[in-house]
Amino acid sequence: MKRGLVVLLFAVFFAGISGTPARAFDQPLLNFGLTNVLDGAVPGPGTYFFEYVQIYQSGEFKDQNGNDIPGSPRVGFVLSMNQLAHISKTTVLGGNIGIDFLLPIGSLTAGGTFGPGGPPISANPGPIGDAIVGPFIQWFPHKLLGRPFLHRFELDFIVPTGHYDKKYTINPGANFWTIEPYYAFTWFLTPQLSTSWRIHYTYNTKNDDPWEVLQSLGITEVKPGQAFHFNYSLEYEVVKNLRVAAAGYYLKQLTDTQFNGSDVSDRKEQVFAIGPAIHWITKSGFVFALKTAFESSVENRPQGSRTTFRMIYKF
């Protein structure tokens, strides 16, 4: 009886015209600001190890109009993204072919409720996220409008190998496949000034074992909508091999999320973020980067800040 009351309150608070819950946060773990500065400018063929440590903290969720959802919902995580990439000397279409493998490991925290009397927000304590694998082609320097230009195309597959349990609101694993092609480039506008972008398109398959609160309402399949997102930076070399930048990311969900094969309106996600960054290449070739991005223009997502430390080592 008590559980039924909680579910009923949840349905009333988050029901749209169609009578289905409108709370979002459907998208899987995506690359939000992990890669910005000099993203397209890989030095050359070889094997690379990338380590990212990202801390995210949010004390508020936004609805489809960008307004706060009551109930003091909050979420945070510490993420260690471990990436191994190999770029061969074999060329196709003028670029070097390569392969990427990424494994996220981290810790999630969550609290509060979705509205007064609504279901609590809970986080899966499992540390392993979904693995990512992707073949790519990396083009090394040539000229665009007379200036050096490096770029890369990659086709990523996010594989549902991470920890997932339907009893938790938020999980390290998404329990569905994601196919995500992206195009990244770095363009040196002057010897000191450059800009870097990574542009993604996200296609998600369906989760056939969604959050148990949704299942109690008869929702047995959730397919997050397709999305467009990018990372960006404008970089300036203040002294040799030391750059400062303005960097961030943007997400816009393009199609509706589907419940049981039917579109659900007012559930599309959006976020914009910007902040300062610093990027240093040591004499030995190590790369260290540190940045913080502050989110705004958020819809159907938590809003917070994201700090990322990045290290690159070439074997």
- Give the number of C-alpha atoms closer than 13 A to the C-alpha of residue 78, restricted to the C-beta side: 2
Task: Kindly report, residue by residue over 41-56, the tens digit of the pLDDT.
Answer: 988 999 999 999 999 9
Q: Is the pLDDT of residue 133 over 50?
A: yes
Average the pLDDT over each of 20-34, 233-247, 264-278 and give the range with the smallest value. 20-34
User: Taking 60 as the threshold, does the pLDDT of residue 18 lie above it?
Assistant: no
Confidence class of residue 242 from pLDDT cuts 50, 70 and 90? very high
Beta strands in the chain (DSSP E): 46-61, 74-92, 95-111, 131-144, 147-159, 178-188, 193-204, 222-223, 227-239, 242-253, 257-259, 262-264, 270-281, 287-299, 302-314
| pLDDT score of 233 | 98
Residue 65 has which token pair? 């109009």
Of 67, 100, 2, the C-alpha closest to 297 is 67
Instruction: Render pLDDT for 158-190 as a digit per residue (tens, 0 to 9).
Output: 999 999 999 998 999 999 999 999 999 999 999
Spell out the domains of the chain, with CATH numbers in brackets. 2-314 (2.40.160.40)
- The whole-number average pLDDT for the span 109-130 is 89
Mean pLDDT, range 201-216, rounded to an integer: 94
Q: How distant is the alpha carbon of residue 266 from its chain centre?
A: 21
Q: What is the mean pLDDT of residues 10-29?
A: 47
Q: What is the pLDDT of residues 60-113, one digit of tens each?
A: 999 999 999 888 888 999 999 999 999 999 999 999 999 999 999 999 999 988
pLDDT at 5 over 80: no
Quote the pLDDT of residue 24: 53
> From CA 33, how far away is CA 276, in angstroms rounded?
11
Q: What is the mean pLDDT of residues 126-149?
A: 95
Of 173 and 18, the one with more pLDDT: 173
* pLDDT on residue 113: 86
CA atoms within 13 A on the CB side of 189: 9
Above 50 in pLDDT, residue 20? no
Predicted local confidence at residue 11, as pLDDT: 29
For residues 35 and 31, give the distance between their C-alpha atoms in angstroms, rounded to a whole number: 7
Sheet holding 262-264, edge to edge: 222-223, 257-259, 262-264
Q: Where are the alpha helices (DSSP H) in the chain?
A: 2-14, 212-216
